[in-house]
């Protein structure tokens, strides 16, 4: 005598719905944190670029014996940035598709004044 057992393997609809709901909840919590982390990283990169520009301006002024009210141009500070003598690829990361364009990202200003980010006014050298 054989007893037939009807064994079905798999997940029920309720179990699948619970798993999908948990994944959705975790995504709802995680996505804003990723956006905030990206924004913070862009801001830190921009501030670092501003520090490098300011340092390059100071070096340029010392080596060429310029006054504090002298304003260097992009080609003047390029050799002091350590980027193969130019500012290519050094733009504000918050500038999106135009993030490699130095001229659209930063204002160099005179030697005595800190450089500024043209993209976001919240990025400031302190």
Q: Note the pLDDT tens digit of each residue in 22-45.
A: 999 999 999 999 999 998 998 898
What pLDDT is attached to residue 104? Answer: 85
Q: Note the pLDDT tens digit of each residue in 37-80.
A: 998 998 898 899 899 999 999 999 999 999 989 999 988 898 88
- Identify which has the larger pLDDT, 85 or 102: 102
What pLDDT is attached to residue 83? Answer: 62
For residue 84, what are its two tokens? 């193969």
Main-chain dihedrals φ then ψ at residue 81, nearest 5 degrees: -90, -10
d(CA 46, CA 40): 10
Domain boundaries, the chain: 16-117
Q: DSSP labels for the chain?
A: ---------S--HHHHHHHHHHHHHHHHHHHHHHHHHHHHHHHHHHHHHHHHHHHHHHHHHHHTT--TT----HHHHGGGTTSTTS-TT-S-GGGGGGTT-STTTEE---TTS--EESS-TT----
């Amino acid at each position: 005598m054989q007893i037939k057992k009807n064994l079905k393997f798999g997940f029920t609809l309720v179990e699948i719905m619970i798993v999908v709901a948990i994944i959705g909840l975790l995504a709802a919590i995680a996505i804003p944190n990723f956006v905030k982390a990206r924004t913070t990283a862009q801001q830190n990169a921009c501030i670092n670029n501003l520090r490098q520009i300011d340092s390059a301006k100071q070096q340029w002024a010392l080596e060429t014996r310029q006054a504090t009210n002298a304003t260097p141009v992009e080609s003047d500070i390029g050799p002091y940035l350590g980027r193969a003598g130019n500012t290519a690829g050094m733009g504000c990361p918050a500038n999106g598709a135009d993030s490699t364009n130095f001229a659209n990202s930063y204002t160099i200003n005179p030697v005595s004044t800190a450089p500024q980010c043209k993209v976001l006014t919240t990025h400031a050298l302190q």
